[in-house]
A and B are shown apart, each in its own frame.
Chain A
Amino acid sequence: MIKPKASILYPCLFAMLLMSAAISLALGPVALSIDDLGSNIGQLRTARILTGMIIGAALSVAGAIFQALLRNPLAEPYVLGVSSGAGVAAATSIIMNIAIFGAWTLPVMAFVGAIAAILLVLAIARSAGGAIPVQTLLLAGVVVGSVLGSGLMFLVNMSPNEKLPTVMWWLMGSLQLFNWSLLQVVAMVTLVSIGLSWFLGSSMNILSMGEEPAAHLGLNVERTKIILLALASLMTGCAVAACGLIGFVGLIVPHSVRSVLGPDHRRLIPSCALCGAAFVVLADSAARSLFVQEIPIGAVTAFMGGPFFLLLLKRGRGARP
């Protein structure tokens, strides 16, 4: 574990993010130089890079919050059924040709599906006194996720041949989002949520010691849980709405950052945001340039992140006596 000063840490991470953006801008089927930034391809790539940064930051911070909140190392942004809820809603809107919101239909439907799933999970887990036991929450999330997941499988099975590629493409995630105003909304929500989560860093530290010790230290546990749940769900919902399901980011980025910088959320949250952003941008450039045909980014995040994560896991184990 290393503990660099904030004045060194954040500029370094920021430089890393800028470098990944530069790499991503240059890579792709068409080589790009600095002079081509204003061209169409340059603009499209810039949009993709910005989308990747926002989504990567949102998923990573949401993952860090869920891990602290549920006190479970396997927790990630999709653990409470958000992904399946969004998937069912998105697949439905694609298959049934729903277009009530015009170009915004798919993201709005996905977002509504995501939030509906998490509200359902919350309603199931909430006890009579209004408290939310996290073990019940986790179990309810997994079960609701599975039920919705089977619904999703059914929809995929039923979808007509010409719709199938669109559904599958959405399910595997893509940064190909050519809607600037959608990006602006998602960016706004994500940045505000990350700011608030950063602000709640010390509360998350205390909460990760357990709910009773946290209460003894003066934390209003149930209120903090609700706020954190809302922030993480909002960010996940936005990410899913904009880019479909990009897995693994929200699981491995928080773990990786934690294993290097330690678990203090006051630095974990901003570091996760910067590292997650860089990671998704790099994964997307790999997705675009590794093969002639573009591969889904979800496949790349798992393929790139998995081995790296295992390496950190092994190193972390070795360091402990």
Chain B
Amino acid sequence: MDLGVAPGEFVGLIGPNGCGKTTLLRVISGVIRPTVGEVLLENQNVSRMSRRSLGRLLAVLLQDSATDMAFTVGEVAAMGRWPHLSTFGVETRRDRQIVREALDVADIAHLADKPITAISGGERQRAFFAMCLAQQPRVLLLDEPLSHLDIGHQLSMLSLIRRLNRQLGLTVLAVFHDLNMAAEFCDRLAVLHEGRLAAVGDAADVLKPQLLKQVYRTTLDVMVNPITGRPQIVISARETLVRHNPL
């Protein structure tokens, strides 16, 4: 596999269940050491970087970050400053300012004093997003960031990520299950199939019925969204539905 992501680019990673999307993210974030090959982050080999310097460069938003500990939303966001703090872990006024801004940007500042165990899944996801922002990363990895959100929150989350990507030059690599969302928001899409890269490129070039059939083992049609001009997956193949449902 050879995948390059340019600085300031927004790349979507798609593929069926079990194709290795999450594993790829874990290799990139240095949690799993690759047996062959290497991951370069700003020309540095991730395996040789310290966790701390990696934490200053790269933030990861997982699809489900749950804990029993009743930290407040503000405390969770402040944890994002951890890789930047001195050994004694004392937050400066500047750190607190950055955390406040992160809470504002993630639109969760009004819940800053609420325990994360007492808020909804969507709010919790935004709290963890605020933590990632407080990390001030140059690269953001997202593992199915939309999985617990309703469509309204999905769109506002993606618009926010898109805005940060455009305004701050944040490089984003995100795993998606929703192909339409991916097509709508990403600069490029990378399709993963059985641990290999099946295709990379513009959504219009990648989302072809033939490739989708090969990768997802189902018949899908692709149309063009009349408003945005981006490709849209439509479900039309009734025989697929019938085949999977004997009734």
Contacts and interface: CB of A to CB of B under 8 A. Distances in A.
A202 B76 CA distance: 11
B83 interface: yes
Interface in A201-245: 201-203, 205-206, 208-210, 212-213, 215-221
Chain A interface bracket (under 10, 10 to 19, 20 to 34, 35 or more): 20 to 34
Interface string B12-56: 000000000000001001110000000000000000001111111
Which one of A199, A201, A213, A258 has the greatest number of beta carbons of chain B within 10 Å? A213
Interface in A22-76: 68, 71, 73
A264 B71 contact: yes
B79 A205 contact: yes
B160 interface: no
The binding surface of chain B is classed by DSSP as mixed
A264 B67 CA distance: 13
A218 B60 contact: no
Interface string B102-138: 0000000000000101100000000010010001000
Contacts of B118: 320-321
B70 A206 contact: no
A218 B55 contact: yes
Interface in A138-186: none
B1 interface: no
Contact of A213 (B54, B65, B72): B65
A103 B30 CA distance: 52
B135 to A, nearest CB: 7
Contacts of A1: 70, 115
Contacts of B76: 209
B70 A201 contact: no
Given A71-B67, A205-B71, A218-B83, A213 B51 contact: no
A215 B67 contact: no
Interface in A183-203: 199, 201-203
A212 B65 CA distance: 10
Contacts of B115: 1, 262, 320
A298 interface: no
A263 B78 CA distance: 14
A126 interface: no
A288 interface: no
Given A206-B79, A217-B135, A320-B118, A263 B69 contact: yes
Given A215-B51, A216-B55, 14 more contacts: A68-B69, A212-B26, A212-B60, A213-B65, A216-B31, A217-B55, A217-B79, A217-B80, A218-B51, A218-B52, A218-B55, A219-B82, A220-B52, A264-B75
Contact of A210 (B26, B54, B67, B135): B67
Contact of A202 (B31, B85, B128): B85
Contacts of A199: 88
A265 to B, nearest CB: 9
Nearest to B75: A264
Contacts of B85: 202
Given A216-B29, A218-B55, A208 B69 contact: yes
